[in-house]
């Protein structure tokens, strides 16, 4: 038996048989993989997709409202075909209004362009639309903002908007109700710098209610200038609440201050008066006093000043 294993032809025969078995195993595995892939491609599946709802209508003559912007479509069929259709979206979901007149109508939602091997289901089969005569007009843009949000003592310049006019399109009945096109600027509380914002435009009726129309362009840039002026004035000291038995001499460390505020308010101010409270002051001293801020003034620089108070007895 040992001699049988030692024969050279035995090893050659064994190697050949082993090679045949390995090749058969690999081929069988590949067949199984290919079969499994084909099964996955042909297996039935469902997938939902949101499609834009198209409207067939004479858009130059009519304006339509009431329909949803998108409709959910559930596709069913082979996995490969469903996936391809979802990726390409090469079909239409639409409503046909071409033969309808002005007024409200309930219309069916239709689908075209789908492969015949696919079936579909819509999230809704009908929609209600309102068809009105189309109207366009050019209107000026008005600016709105809260003046009270601007910081105290700052000047508010003339607000500007670009573009100054826009085109408004919609149903004739809605366009007739437009009172103004509003660009509402949001002003942060205590704003102290010029504000420039891109804001959405809205069409409002006489009671401030928003109307369903299309504004082109839909946004505008609003600029609100906010500034502050400054002026240097003389500081005056006024003794208050002193004793009748004492003589007071007041000297400030500086005799001028700079006030910052609204230009009209500063034009009226020639000097700033500080009332120096002498209550309980019986001997010479130096004290710091906070400077008053007049109406229309944002701040005073410096905000406080040192005052030398010299006290002596009244000889009289």
The domain locations on the chain are 44-124, 134-227, 229-313
Give the CATH class of 229-313: mainly beta
**DSSP summary character for residue 210:** B
pLDDT of 37 reads 46
Assess whether the region 44-124 and the region 134-227 belong to the same CATH fold.
Answer: yes
Is residue 296 within 8 Å of 153, Cβ to Cβ?
yes
Is residue 220 within 8 Å of 182, Cβ to Cβ?
no
Query: Rounded CA gap, 304 and 291, in Å?
Result: 5
Task: Tokens for 143, please give them.
Answer: 């600016």
Going from the C-alpha of 1 to that of each of 5, 69, 91, 135, 270, the distances in angstroms are 7, 87, 77, 107, 131
pLDDT of 7 reads 57
Task: Tokens for 124, please give them.
Answer: 């809704």
Query: Rounded CA gap, 237 and 310, in Å?
Result: 13
List of residues 6+ apart from 290 with CB closer than 8 A: 303, 304
Fold observed for domain 44-124? RNA Polymerase Alpha Subunit; Chain A, domain 2 (2.170.120)
User: pTM to 2 decimals?
Assistant: 0.69
Is residue 226 within 8 Å of 195, Cβ to Cβ?
yes
Q: Which residues of the chain have pLDDT under 50?
A: 1, 31-33, 35, 37-39, 41
Quick: pLDDT tens for 224-259.
Answer: 999 999 999 999 999 998 888 889 999 999 999 999
Q: What angle do CA 81, 82, 88 make, to 5 degrees?
A: 85
Residue for token pair 């024969």: 7
pLDDT of 127 reads 97
Query: Rounded CA gap, 305 and 255, in Å?
Result: 10
pLDDT of 245 reads 85
Query: Rounded CA gap, 128 and 67, in Å?
Result: 6
Query: Rounded CA gap, 111 and 43, in Å?
Result: 24
Residue for token pair 């190697």: 15
Q: What angle do CA 203, 204, 209 make, to 5 degrees?
A: 130
Give the CATH class of 134-227: mainly beta
């Amino acid at each position: 038996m040992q001699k049988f294993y030692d024969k050279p032809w035995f090893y050659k025969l064994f190697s050949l048989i082993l090679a045949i078995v390995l090749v058969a195993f690999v081929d069988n595995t590949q067949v199984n993989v290919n079969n499994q892939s084909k099964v996955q491609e042909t297996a039935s599946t469902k997938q939902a997709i949101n499609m834009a709802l198209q409207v067939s209508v004479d858009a130059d003559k009519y304006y339509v409202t009431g329909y949803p912007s998108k409709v959910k479509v559930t596709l069913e069929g082979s996995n490969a075909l469903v996936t391809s259709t979802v990726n390409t979206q090469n079909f239409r979901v639409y409503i046909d209004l071409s033969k309808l007149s002005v007024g409200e109508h309930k219309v069916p939602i239709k689908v075209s362009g789908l492969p015949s091997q696919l079936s579909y289901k819509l999230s809704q089969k009908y929609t209600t639309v309102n068809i009105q005569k189309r109207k366009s007009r050019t209107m000026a843009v008005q600016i709105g903002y809260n003046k009270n949000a601007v910081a105290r003592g700052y000047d508010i310049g003339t607000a500007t908007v670009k573009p100054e006019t826009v085109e408004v399109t919609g149903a004739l009945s809605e366009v007739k109700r437009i009172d103004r096109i509003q660009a509402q600027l949001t002003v942060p509380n205590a704003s102290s710098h010029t504000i420039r914002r891109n804001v959405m435009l809205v069409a409002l009726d006489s009671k401030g209610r928003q109307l369903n129309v299309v504004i082109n362009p839909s946004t505008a840039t609003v600029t609100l200038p906010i500034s502050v002026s400054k002026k240097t004035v003389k500081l005056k000291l006024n003794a208050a609440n002193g004793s009748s038995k004492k003589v007071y001499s007041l000297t400030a460390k500086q005799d001028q201050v700079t006030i910052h505020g609204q230009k009209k308010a500063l034009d009226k101010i020639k000097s700033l008066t500080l009332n120096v409270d002498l209550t309980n002051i019986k001997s010479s001293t130096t004290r710091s006093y906070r400077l008053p801020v007049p109406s229309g003034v944002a701040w005073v620089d410096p905000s406080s000043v040192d005052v030398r108070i010299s006290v002596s007895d009244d000889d009289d």
